[in-house]
């Protein structure tokens, strides 16, 4: 097996407004390159108005990536509907983990509000389609292309 041509480099930094207000960085990211060369990405931007959004963003990215990794180990979607189902199930898993976190801490789900974007780049080739969906707000559960 040859090495993947993909390398993922990512960073999240505390913005100047957050520095001035002594707020933490509320962004999170997670990435993985699978043995078949597929690249999995998850990026979240915690809602600035939510008290624990940095926790929500971190959990959402980690759990969405875990769900994608697990699902792709089982089967590679063959069509748009399959990709949509795969990504929606990853978002549903991330959201259920946020619901559980809120319940365990006796907190409102909205305290963990975050956006979540996921992408899957299939295979080793340097060209191809990326798949992505966006969930806006942990409490809203809307999915967009």
pLDDT by position in tens, the chain (length 145): 456 667 777 777 777 877 787 777 789 999 999 888 888 999 999 888 888 999 999 999 999 999 999 999 998 888 888 888 888 899 999 999 999 999 998 999 999 999 898 888 876 554 445 555 555 454 444 444 4
Nearest Cα neighbor of 23 from 59, 50, 58 is: 50
Cβ atoms of 82 and 67 within 8 Å: the answer is: no
pLDDT at 85: 86
Q: Which two tokens stand for residue 25?
A: 């960085």
Rounded to 5°, angle at Cα 135 from 65 and 34: 20
pLDDT at 130: 53
The count of other CB atoms within 10 Å of the CB of residue 42 is 27
Neighbouring residues of 80: CB distance < 8 A, sequence distance ≥ 6: none
User: What global pTM score does this model have?
Assistant: 0.81
| Separation of alpha carbons 118 and 139, rounded Å | 18
| Separation of alpha carbons 71 and 85, rounded Å | 10
Parallel, antiparallel or unpaired: strands 39-46 and 27-33: antiparallel
pLDDT at 83: 84
Burial-class residue 43 by CB neighbours within 10 Å (0-12, 13-18, 19+): buried
Domains, the chain, ranges and CATH? Answer: 24-144 (3.60.40.10)
pLDDT at 128: 45
Burial-class residue 75 by CB neighbours within 10 Å (0-12, 13-18, 19+): exposed
């Amino acid at each position: 097996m040859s090495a993947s041509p993909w390398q993922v480099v990512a960073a999240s930094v505390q913005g100047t407004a957050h520095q001035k207000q002594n707020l933490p960085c509320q962004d999170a990211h997670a990435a993985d390159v699978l043995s078949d060369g597929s690249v999995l990405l998850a990026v979240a931007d915690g809602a600035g108005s939510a008290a624990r959004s940095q926790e929500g963003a971190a959990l959402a990215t980690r759990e969405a990536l875990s769900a994608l990794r697990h699902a792709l180990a089982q089967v590679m979607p063959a069509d748009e509907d399959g990709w949509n189902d795969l990504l929606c199930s990853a978002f549903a898993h991330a959201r259920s983990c946020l619901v559980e976190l809120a319940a365990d801490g006796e907190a409102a789900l909205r305290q963990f509000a975050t956006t979540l974007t996921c992408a899957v780049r299939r295979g080793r080739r340097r060209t191809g389609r990326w798949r992505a969906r966006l969930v806006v707000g942990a409490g809203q559960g809307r999915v967009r292309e």
